[in-house]
Structure 1
């Protein structure tokens, strides 16, 4: 039986790219529908979205009830609510799928215990400035993937660096396919209050609540577009703005870990991440007094990879 996949695309300021993103999904037989959620774009993206719905019957367009701007997390949540396929996949409006996007899924989802599958994605430089900014902040990344095949609880542990082997970078949302029933059963949604990193938080929560499995991790199934307006390249790593955004991410995860009573080892790792960014935002004498107090309670915090970056500034 052919898979029925709903592809959710949040659309904001993407008039240059949205048509290619949609066309790349339409080429795939497994795509049952494409759910565009337009988020009050300042460009002509909304007009293009209307044109795409008129041209293709599988393309559906939605906006927030107030037609306002609510961010990618809220837009993806709205897309999940409107989706009618058996599976959910995501695609950023400035990225696109490759023809092999769902090849692994077609086999792996025959196993009913598998809730979600994730794969590798590639990087494409769309502008020279975007390329320079990206490469000045990150290593040359031709393939965003994990280091070895894994599934179930090991995925969650790998994302938190709790495995004996190095798991690698977190997988990209563009590479994920999840059963819609699994999202509903565990009430998993994006944190609409996080304007950035809501995808990272979603993936960690998903890996805890659902049974995820690696698919194709050796070759790209989608391409991430790097251009002048990528938010990921605009913030200097370990700058106050970067630290603040990381703090909000890990604080949210820490609150979630406590309320869900997740295992002690994982809960402590999340707490240390949260606390290290919390400490990075403090200044002056109070900062060092707080570090000392925290180190006495949790000596492990002095071993976090953020210690020297933050504490010695």
Structure 2
């Protein structure tokens, strides 16, 4: 039987947390549920304490200084303290469905497979959250990939470098990974990234470990969309958006430097990083940097729309 540690970072999620935790409790495969309370300003800590007192599977952690450190640091703390042979993640405003670990029961019979992922559905918890989400993302009922895949095809697919479109990023809620793989490859969430640390982690994971898709045509977990979802608050190609994208792609670019990656992948990281870096510059220095970059790598012109937007904001 699988031996799973479920890691749930908690910040201002008092309204949703109990439903999230109760969705993970019934599974025989779940050995422990680790709540990392990240100095919430609501009564999340009290909810965590009540749940931990009521259910022996639940472990409550806080950062040593009891301060707020963000989701990445909270997940890293959960990884460090976990005792299961497998790791899964769950956001405090989301929940698992009864089929959450159906694919895992057979996929991990193959010792080569180090992780698997499935599809995540969407539940609109507020009308405002629904409108904001649908204004920025396609109104798809599933966050999933387009076809079954495994191994390096997943890594290349996540970067849009496969012959056919692989699909969107799969969500952390639908990922199950062997703890041994996380430890072997020293995988942790980048704590510099306040957003996109999940995508950063997933791409690095897909390179280092052998992943295989599980249930991708129906949801195995649900995302709760509400007024306070951070990802819907950022205007696409705004200065804030561009800066966060730069940090994300720069993280991947720096990670890639000592590795033996295909040239098209290294170029992809560089061009993405450079495009968002240029978008944050102004005036003469921006023009010089842009021309220098074009001379070295004309493919930067394929990302012209970012410069057009940035120019209109200056």
Task: Tell me which interval the TM-score lies in, with the shorter structure as reference length.
Answer: over 0.9
**Counterpart mapping for 1:147-162 below 5 A:** 147-162=146-161
1:86 — aligned with what?
85
Question: Aligned equivalents of 1:263 and 1:64: distance in 2?
Answer: 39
Question: Aligned equivalents of 2:287 and 2:91: distance in 1?
Answer: 41
**Counterpart mapping for 1:171-186 below 5 A:** 171-186=170-185
1:100 — aligned with what?
99
Instruction: Note the alpha carbon deviations across 1:248-290, whole angstroms, 9 max, x for none.
Output: 1111111101133423221111111111111111112322222
Instruction: Note the alpha carbon deviations across 1:173-209, whole angstroms, 9 max, x for none.
Output: 1110000000000100001111111111000100000
Report how far residue 311 of structure 1 moved.
5.9
Q: Which moved more, 1:217-226 or 1:128-137?
A: 128-137
Contact 1:53 1:59 in 2 (8 A): yes
**Counterpart mapping for 1:1-313 below 5 A:** 2-304=1-303, 306-307=305-306, 310=309, 313=312
Question: Aligned equivalents of 2:311 and 2:162: distance in 1?
Answer: 29
Contact 2:115 2:176 in 1 (8 A): yes
Question: Aligned equivalents of 2:44 and 2:152: distance in 1?
Answer: 40
Question: Aligned equivalents of 2:169 and 2:68: distance in 1?
Answer: 27
Question: Aligned equivalents of 1:222 and 1:283: distance in 2?
Answer: 43
Contact 1:301 1:307 in 2 (8 A): no
Q: 1:309 to 1:146 in 2, by over 3 A?
A: farther
Report how far residue 106 of structure 1 moved.
0.9
Contact 2:72 2:197 in 1 (8 A): yes
CA-based RMSD of the aligned residues comes to: 1.2
Contact 1:122 1:223 in 2 (8 A): yes
Report how far residue 136 of structure 1 moved.
1.4
Contact 1:134 1:233 in 2 (8 A): yes
Aligned length: 312
Question: Aligned equivalents of 1:31 and 1:309: distance in 2?
Answer: 50
Structure 1: 5+ residue runs without aligned partners? none
Question: Aligned equivalents of 2:305 and 2:214: distance in 1?
Answer: 31
Question: Aligned equivalents of 2:111 and 2:186: distance in 1?
Answer: 19
2:150 is paired with a residue of what secondary structure?
Answer: coil
